Chain A
Amino acid sequence: MLGLSLREVSAALKQGQVSPMELCQKCLSLIKETKFLNAYITVEEERALKQAEESEKRYEKGQALGILDGIPIAVKDNFSTAGIETTCASNMLKGYIPPYNATVVQKLLDQGAVLLGKTNLDEFAMGSGSTDGIFGPVRNPWSYSKQYREKKKQSHHRADEDSDWLITGGSSGGSAAAVSAFTCFAALGSDTGGSTRNPAALCGLVGLKPTYGLISRYGLIPLVNSMDVPGILTRCVEDAAIVLGILAGHDPKDSTTAQDPVGPFTLPILRDVGKLCIGIPKEYSAPGLSSEVQAFWSKAADLFASKGAKVVEVSLPHTSYSIVCYHVLCTAEVASNMARFDGLEYGHRCNVNVSTEAMYAATRREGFNDVVRGRILSGNFFLLKENYDDYFVKAQKVRRLIANDFVKVFNSGVDVLLTPTTLSNAVPYLEFIKEDNRTRSARDDIFTQSVNMAGLPAVNVPMALSSQGLPIGLQLIGRAFSDQQLLTVAKWFEEQVQFPVIQLQELMDSCQTFSQHKKLASVSLKR
């Protein structure tokens, strides 16, 4: 039941095969059993059950609000949720309870969706592993999958369960783990430089970064205003399109949402790819790309070609500067954005009361981790009067060159670009933390951030399992505001590759050892 697609579970609810309450309780007990994944920061059990109860009444009356009515979802903990703590995984916002809902959250609730809780992330979404938040790292459910465990045994690795677990990628790793472990049917992430697509690739999910301006950012705690977009994490392309259809559209509270009419986002079945032109950017054969990902990327290109699509090599000449440009623009906007956290109006406040400035400084010292402080300081450096033109304005110019590269390629007749999403499959946590956050982000965002700078839609589609038994995903990039066309191609691709479903029997077994003593709690929940 928990593995169904949105359309399937919605049908099951309508036909009464399952009730919203049952569904909600199932998800809540699975969340408890998989607590060690650390996917959720806050679980709103009572609130969720109440929402499910209301949904149940609507179904009884035959007045369901929409396709999501009664369906459990999760939201990354950097979206404001009225009455629910919103922390950004930072000491700075610990205990902060927003008085309002982000527009995207409100839209989901208006459809009757049941909000289970808030998911884990890197502090203020700055990271590519979901390892750098105050609530600790998120574990990739694939660490406990049959597929991975069996390969591991074959290669005579000692299955050391407590230290061998893999990262989810990030920064929306909690949302990815939540969807991947079947604890919810869809989740919201955010995507500034790849934070939705990266964990989607490592957790075997569909991760959509919509066109900038298509979805409201109101209530999403900003990281880089000119690049942030809410992201969607689901188990199939169709589900992502359904959620996009609900979220898309102009919001009077976000002046950067486009006013043009949007949608519909229902996906036609693409039978013939003969008219499609797929571009393969040659610069994406970057150093560090694993031979396995490279091989699957070629295989995917061959697949399109063998079914009649035109596959052409294209050039995005400024690609190698993209990550550097992103680094400067990101830190500069972060420096400006993070100025709001001063301890006065909300969030953490220190005990120093010598002067306002001393209070600000001490509050921020206590509230931000090294990564956030590092980006603030770098950003302030790039924004200094004497550096402004050399770094910030220079980066803005390079940004235009990068955006123009995409425009040229799409004007040459390419419909969709096909690239890797990540350099390799998920790596073990212990390996990942050997390097510092900036180095990791510069490496892990390599294929994803240029899309944010150009504002384009992009989606990760899981393709196959690596020799280690772990997901490898590819990225499809479309023209601005052509999200529907992009998803249509993604759906075709998804059907061709038939990515295997995660087999979590082993996870459930580990759950039992992990949480045998917690059984009472989940029994009482089933009531």
Chain B
Amino acid sequence: MWRRTLRAALRAGLSPGTTGAVAEARAARVGSSRFAGSDSGKAEGPSPGGRVSAELIEHLERLALVDFRNREGVARLQAAIEFAGQLRAVDTDGVVPMESVLEDRCLYLRADDVVEDSCVEALLQNSQWTVEEYFVAPPGNITLPKQSEQDPVTES
């Protein structure tokens, strides 16, 4: 089902301004926790390029720890990939990648000396939850459940 609406959104030029797309986005949000799940089938992606599969969406969401939220989000990625694809036309044979414009200079390194007093208290003050001198995190040995199984994020 979501594939069809995505196509519709693409046809509408990805314009979030049109009422149709907004309505779809709203509808999408309701089911967003599952739109990448197994019930949507092995999606081939929204374009002939077919890069954005359900697996890819899930993989990226787990890596980035942000979600696409709705079909427009996926369409946005598709558009970004297609845009980036133009780079293939550039002949870069033998070109060394450029990481920094200051590559021809020595990088300055500070001496490994303490120059400022302890700022533990000041830094802890910006945390929502601390105990003594520690930041408090929830249990860390649980991986994010698959979206197709359960999504505690959207239930909150």
**A residues neighboring B (CB under 8 Å):** 96-99, 212-213, 226, 250, 252, 255-259, 318, 321, 324-325, 327-328, 331, 335, 342-347, 349-362, 364-365, 368, 370, 373-374, 376-378, 380-382, 384, 390-391, 393-401, 403, 433-436, 438-439, 442, 453-455, 480
**B residues neighboring A (CB under 8 Å):** 14-17, 56, 59-61, 63-69, 72-73, 76-77, 79-81, 83-84, 86-90, 92, 95-102, 105-110, 119, 122-123, 125-129, 135, 137-145, 152-153, 156
User: CB-CB < 8 A to A390: which residues of B?
Assistant: 88
User: CB-CB < 8 A to B88: which residues of A?
Assistant: 390, 394
A318 x B73 contact (CB < 8 A): no
**A453–B98 alpha-carbon span in the complex (Å):** 9
**A374 CB contact (under 8 Å) in B65, B80, B110:** B80
**A346–B126 alpha-carbon span in the complex (Å):** 5
User: Shortest CB–CB separation between residue A368 and chain B, in angstroms?
Assistant: 6
**A391 CB contact (under 8 Å) in B66, B67, B87, B90:** B87
Chain B contact residues: over half helix, strand or loop, or mixed? loop
Contacts A397-B96, A454-B101 given: A381-B77 contact, CB under 8 Å? yes
A401 x B127 contact (CB < 8 A): no
User: Shortest CB–CB separation between residue A269 and chain B, in angstroms?
Assistant: 31
**A258–B14 alpha-carbon span in the complex (Å):** 44
**B92 CB contact (under 8 Å) in A377, A384, A394:** A394
User: CB-CB < 8 A to B152: which residues of A?
Assistant: 352, 354, 358, 362
**B140 CB contact (under 8 Å) in A355, A370, A403, A442:** A355
A378 x B77 contact (CB < 8 A): yes
User: Shortest CB–CB separation between residue A347 and chain B, in angstroms?
Assistant: 8
B92 x A398 contact (CB < 8 A): yes
Complex: chain B residue closest to A259, CB-CB: B108
User: Shortest CB–CB separation between residue B14 and chain A, in angstroms?
Assistant: 6
User: Shortest CB–CB separation between residue B125 and chain A, in angstroms?
Assistant: 7
User: Shortest CB–CB separation between residue A231 and chain B, in angstroms?
Assistant: 17
User: CB-CB < 8 A to B56: which residues of A?
Assistant: 381
**A358–B122 alpha-carbon span in the complex (Å):** 27
10 A-B pairs with least C-beta separation:
A455-B101, A396-B97, A355-B142, A99-B122, A400-B98, A346-B126, A397-B92, A349-B128, A378-B80, A397-B95
Q: Could you list some 11 contacts between A and B, CB below 8 A?
A: A226-B101, A256-B102, A258-B105, A331-B80, A342-B65, A377-B68, A380-B63, A381-B60, A396-B97, A399-B98, A400-B98
**A354–B80 alpha-carbon span in the complex (Å):** 33
B138 x A356 contact (CB < 8 A): yes
User: CB-CB < 8 A to B153: which residues of A?
Assistant: 352, 358, 361-362, 365
Having A327-B83, A377-B68, A436-B15, one finds 11 other A-B pairs with CB under 8 Å, namely A226-B99, A252-B110, A328-B84, A331-B80, A335-B64, A356-B139, A373-B69, A374-B77, A397-B96, A438-B76, A438-B80
